[in-house]
Structure 1
Amino acid sequence: MAHPVWADGDAYEAYVGRWSRLVAADFLRGLDVPPGRHWLDVGCGTGALTSTILANGAPGRVTAVDRSEGFLAGARTRVVDARATFHAGDARALPLPDRAVDVVVSGLALNFVPEPARAVAEFARVVRPAGVVAAYVWDYADGMAMMRHFWAAAAELDPVAAELDEGRRFTVCQPDALRVLWVDAGLGEVSVRPVEVPTVFADLADYWTPFLGGQGAAPTYVTTLAEPGRAALRELLAARLPVEPDGSIRLTARAWAVRGVASE
């Protein structure tokens, strides 16, 4: 099985980064964080959530951490703000001392951490008493329509593809699983809510081309296909996607957002 690649920030932006930015704005509105706080963005990727915090969260400072040097390079280019700094680091061993920040957030990253419970324990370790710890992940099983269409078509043509489907693999991306992670980390006032955004593609090319970028599970799978296999998959998707009279494809994407508060 080919392992997903996370290095090309531009390709990731075209694939799901642009939709993450829509979710990030709604996610922040639900956190209720006062201005001037020190935020930590774990798994910052291309900077979608970091830039939204800077624009809408009135932070005093944002520390952003990611394992991918490629993504960090892109984030530093996209996010030019003296309040933000970007660092290489692992969510399971954050490069910060205890009780160092006021808010810990993570967008679309927790399911990619091999040991998510360790990551959430780290979130709880570095946040100050009464600080907010929150994250959001895609609802891969039911709510991410662009991927549901993709994997249904891929599995019909190649049964092996079903094993790569994020909806089957990422069991942490469910409300009950997220709630348990937060409670087990000692966080209180835990709540989980859905965040749904429109994902409107201008045409079939706008939908399909990002799957050729090699960033993420589905695009990585596409890189393993010979050209006839790619063409067959594209044609099956073209026949099944709900195309509007103007050629656009109007889908929706749902994420689950979890929020908790550190004990005082």
Structure 2
Amino acid sequence: MGREVWEVGDAYEAYVGRWSRPVAREFVSWLAVPTGRSWLDVGCGPGALTTAALATAPGRVTGVDRSPGFLAEARSRAGGPRTGFAAGDARALPVPDGRFDVVVSGLCLNFVPEPARAVAEFARVTASGGVAAAYVWDYGDGMAMMRHFWDAAATLDPGSVQFDEGRRRTLCAPGPLAELWSGAGFGAVATTAIEVPTVFADFPDFWRPFLGGQGSAPGYLASLTEPQRTALRELLRSRLPMEPDGSIRLTARAWAVRGTIH
């Protein structure tokens, strides 16, 4: 299976993007930042967190991402007089020291090859008295849609465990996140869980996003033969908790961390 790809806004939206918006709103509410502050959104993706920050804590938000596709999507969704977007790497942010009151990163840090370097950059660009915070999906057992997928995949193909985010994303837990923040020199470090409902209208609504090829599970699915995909689909269909109306009601959990610069 090839590397994970996160570049196409529509495919990301269908898979997990639609669940990222309520998490972003809860995250911004948890931060409770006063209005009028300057924000930096690192790994802004298609703009879910940028949009939440603009709606909840009016100020100026600058988004940085490595993906041209995601930057174009973010400009389309959140572009305006209070936003700006630039290409850049989380490990070498293209901004001066102490520039922002608030530095945030949503659903991105676990994809950075050297997360400690990224968090050190967060500390560098955060103004004195400012806050830096991030959140990541709980791939271990908090993302029910993915957990059901990988458990079914492992039943049919034990080798699939090497692609399971729950086994590979060791950063996605409160302890490792808090250690990263403390190690970068942040004070008053705190973590919290953010959980949102993920309701699928029916099984096709659940299954279709896995066909997009973007992300670990869709990438794994694309590597299978048609009979293998069919077997996995039908095993999932038999295992998922369906309501009488055919809907599938699951939950998604993210872990968030925050800290301050003195």
Normalising by structure 2, report the TM-score. 0.98
Q: Which amino acid aligns with 1:139?
A: D
Shift of 1:205: 0.8
The aligned counterpart of 1:23 is 23
The aligned counterpart of 1:138 is 137
Shift of 1:81: 2.0
Rounded to whole Å, the distance in 2 between the matches of 1:70 and 1:158 is 33
**1:93 maps to 2:89:** no
Rounded to whole Å, the distance in 1 between the matches of 2:181 and 2:215 is 26
**1:173 maps to 2:172:** yes
Rounded to whole Å, the distance in 2 between the matches of 1:41 and 1:3 is 24
Tell me the alpha carbon deviations over residues 144-173 of structure 1, each in whole angstroms, 9 at most, x when there is no partner: 100000100111111121111111101000
The aligned counterpart of 1:251 is 250
The aligned counterpart of 2:70 is 71
Q: Which amino acid aligns with 1:189?
A: A
The aligned counterpart of 1:197 is 196
Shift of 1:74: 1.3
Rounded to whole Å, the distance in 2 between the matches of 1:205 and 1:114 is 34
The aligned length equals 262
Rounded to whole Å, the distance in 1 between the matches of 2:63 and 2:79 is 13
Rounded to whole Å, the distance in 2 between the matches of 1:87 and 1:221 is 31
Q: Secondary structure at the match of 1:242?
A: coil
Shift of 1:222: 1.2
Rounded to whole Å, the distance in 2 between the matches of 1:84 and 1:221 is 36
Q: Which amino acid aligns with 1:92?
A: R
Coordinate RMSD, CA, aligned: 0.8
The aligned counterpart of 1:9 is 9
Rounded to whole Å, the distance in 1 between the matches of 2:205 and 2:85 is 30
Tell me the alpha carbon deviations over residues 70-120 of structure 1, each in whole angstroms, 9 at most, x when there is no partner: 111111112232111111110000000100111000000000000000000
Over 6 Å off, 4+ runs: none
The aligned counterpart of 2:158 is 159
Q: What runs of 5+ residues in structure 1 fail to find an aligned partner? A: none
Equivalence map 1:114-153=2 (5 Å): 114-153=113-152
Normalising by structure 1, report the TM-score. 0.98
Shift of 1:189: 0.3
Rounded to whole Å, the distance in 2 between the matches of 1:133 and 1:89 is 18
Shift of 1:7: 1.4
Shift of 1:127: 0.5
Q: Which amino acid aligns with 1:106?
A: S
Tell me the alpha carbon deviations over residues 43-70 of structure 1, each in whole angstroms, 9 at most, x when there is no partner: 11111111111111212x1100111111
Identity of aligned residues (%): 68
Rounded to whole Å, the distance in 1 between the matches of 2:57 and 2:20 is 16
